Amino acid sequence: MDRKQCCVKLSVQPSRGLMDEKFIVLVQNALPGSQLTIRALHQCEDGHSWEAFGHYTADTTGTINVSEDPSIRGTYSGVEQMGLLWSLRPIPGSKPGLRMRKKNIQTPMEVTISVYQGHQTEGFADLVPLSGVVVERWYMAPGVRRIPVTEGGLTAALFLPLGPGPFPGLLDRYGLGGQLVEYRAALLASHGFASMAIDYVNSKFTIETGKMVDNQYFETAYRVLQQHPQVCKSRIAMIGFSFGTSITLKMAIYSEIIKLSAVVCISGTHVQPVDGSVEEILRFPYKNAGKTRFSEKDEKIWRDQLLPIPTDPSLKADVGRLQCPLLLVVGEDDQNWPAQESALDIKEMMARAGNSHLLTVLSYPNAGHLIEPPYTPHARSSTFKTVEIQEKVMCLWGGQTVEHSRAQEDAWKKILVFLRENLYGGRNPTSFSHL
């Protein structure tokens, strides 16, 4: 190793930040024109390790700025300021079907960013880095509080922004992955929204009784959020992902209790038995299990189970009755739900009903089903435990990594704008983004 290369300096600013906040990676004091590899390494809470790397060439001053200089090759190429995060992938030899999801949001995601001599692609464990920095990525901004919620039989967590409030409220539902998914709600609270993440698949009620929750469960969650002294009870929205959108639309349209200021549906559908219980809605796609397809890698493709979109009005949530703004986020390569076809039908239904002015559709070519907060690594496929028979299967979610990552970043920005416009009247809440 050249002696001068031993003096290479690596800096990442900010070294502590929110998950949706960009950072600047800067290499200095390298040999002018030298070939270097910049690598990110993260060990998940489940013990699995993920990596991303780019190959760079130092300029005439011995500098590399990842936000300005192109990666020649690696897990990403070109000028990609956040490529070291969104292109993270399981290290070679990992078991198949992994998906990165933060469970304990009260601790940061720690990423070690290192610089190596030469253009390396493997064997990093045996290499000595020229320099390294540990970066912390948080879903919870300083001052955000997590409050477990068990009132009324709920299994939920409420995240309150810093300050006295009152804050607009958000009810956050993920899909059928099970357990309480908190990271999006925590990040939304970091942007000024009192956000409650709800577990409706493996709730305490379901574990104790063996029964699925009913509509009353979600109405209870709404009441608990609405009645919190730091929540503005007249400004509450819902955000749903995947199957969570089915429940979100059902509650927004048909509940006598729930009155919303806005609705966000990500990667979902309005197809459901209108008069069905939560369990009946959940099991409805399985009636067409024979339409399940398989990829060349034997990954399950479920999107056809709800196609063609029914014409029977009893099998579609009547979005024409919606009285608040609705934002749909669609990945056009979604292989799990017919999100694109559903969005087109929703648009037609609302146009016929005269409420299409309430609808905004964000549709992204080559984005898949798992549209998450920015810089979340893309999982084109992963293992998934089905609710119906409680077995793990390999599912194809879809999406191409670069386009999917772009979609996540763009959609998140627009979701925040949509929520601010409809819950804060267009005014920006106090910024909580700096750690």
Residue 16 has a CB neighbour count (10 Å cut-off) of: 17
Q: What angle do CA 244, 250, 254 make, to 5 degrees?
A: 155
Beta-sheet pairing, 359-364 with 300-301 = unpaired
- C-alpha separations of 240 from 111, 147, 269, 403 in Å: 29, 21, 11, 22
Distance of alpha carbon 84 from the chain centroid:
18
228 part of the active site: no
Is residue 350 within 8 A of residue 322, CB to CB? The reply is yes
User: Three-state DSSP class for 213?
Assistant: coil
Catalytic residue among 55, 228, 270, 369: 369
Amino acid at 159: F
Beta-sheet pairing, 64-65 with 24-28 = antiparallel
User: Three-state DSSP class for 171?
Assistant: strand
334 part of the active site: yes
Rounded to whole angstroms, the Cα distance separating 273 from 107 reads: 40
User: Three-state DSSP class for 68?
Assistant: coil
345 part of the active site: no
Is residue 159 within 8 A of residue 106, CB to CB? The reply is no
**Residues facing residue 111 across a β-bridge:** 135
Catalytic residue among 334, 342, 404, 405: 334
Q: Which string of b and e fits 327-355 if b means at least 16 CB within 10 Å?
A: bbbbbbbbbbbbbbbbbebbeebbeeeeb
List the catalytic residues.
242, 334, 369
